[in-house]
Structure 1
């Protein structure tokens, strides 16, 4: 299974995620949120940053079912979903992940007919694989 490539700027994101927290980098001077993480604020050019906690709620902004799988590591579970989630707390920030039935479930654990643009989702973390995932928000 593939693991995330962690650089210095993104390392805090992965540390927080491993604890089950979704945090987004923000500028410590102007307060603008930014993702992906980077050393300099694109708005005010400050190098000061902090990591702001998010609620973990969002909505499916887009999705795909890769055919054929582009990565051999995922061939056995194809077709699987890849979703783009717009964060409820920060609508300009969108994260990529998989919609699963529960934290740690396989990336093919949700049937295609349950996936819709606009579906409300909640962040969860798959500790075994070290990846953020999403589950459908319960009404």
Structure 2
């Protein structure tokens, strides 16, 4: 088995349930899986609704706005591939139009900026953010920008 300890974790593993999320992201759209029977939103995507057990789903477009619900600034030990970008942030975003849905990502100054592009002192719980998409190895990765830079 190859040693992957020095490789960055840049791209997701895309499965059948989550594939539509990434297809919409490639179009610049943030969408969340919703139950076609009861309307409940769910993330991460899964085949069955945890509320009504329906297997019918649809993908609902979100505004892409949210707020920082939590964050962390990873410090050593870091994966070697990320050491040059430290300190960077990892944030949890609560979606404005679906407060029970929370997505993990990075706060950056522009979609294609390095992970350490935001001064760590600017991180605040409750700060309003907007999604932006960056091309990472051919996959549109959601990143987050402060609404008021």
TM-score, length basis structure 2: 0.89
Cα distance change on mapping 1:69 and 1:134 into 2, 3 Å: farther
- 1:11 corresponds to 2:19: yes
Offset at residue 79 of structure 1 (A): 1.0
Offset at residue 75 of structure 1 (A): 1.6
Q: Distance in 2 between matches of 1:58 and 1:116?
A: 13
Q: Which runs of 5+ in 1 are unaligned?
A: none
Q: CA RMSD in A?
A: 1.3
1:84: which partner in 2? 92
Q: Distance in 1 between matches of 2:50 and 2:79?
A: 33
Specify the structure having the higher radius of gyration (Cα): 2
Q: Distance in 2 between matches of 1:20 and 1:106?
A: 19
Q: Which runs of 5+ in 2 are unaligned?
A: 1-7
Structure 1 contact 69–79 (Cα < 8 Å) conserved: no
- 1:127 corresponds to 2:135: yes
124-133 vs 24-33, which moves further: 124-133
Q: Which runs of 4+ in 1 moved over 2 A?
A: 69-73
TM-score, length basis structure 1: 0.95
User: Aligned pairs, how many?
Assistant: 139
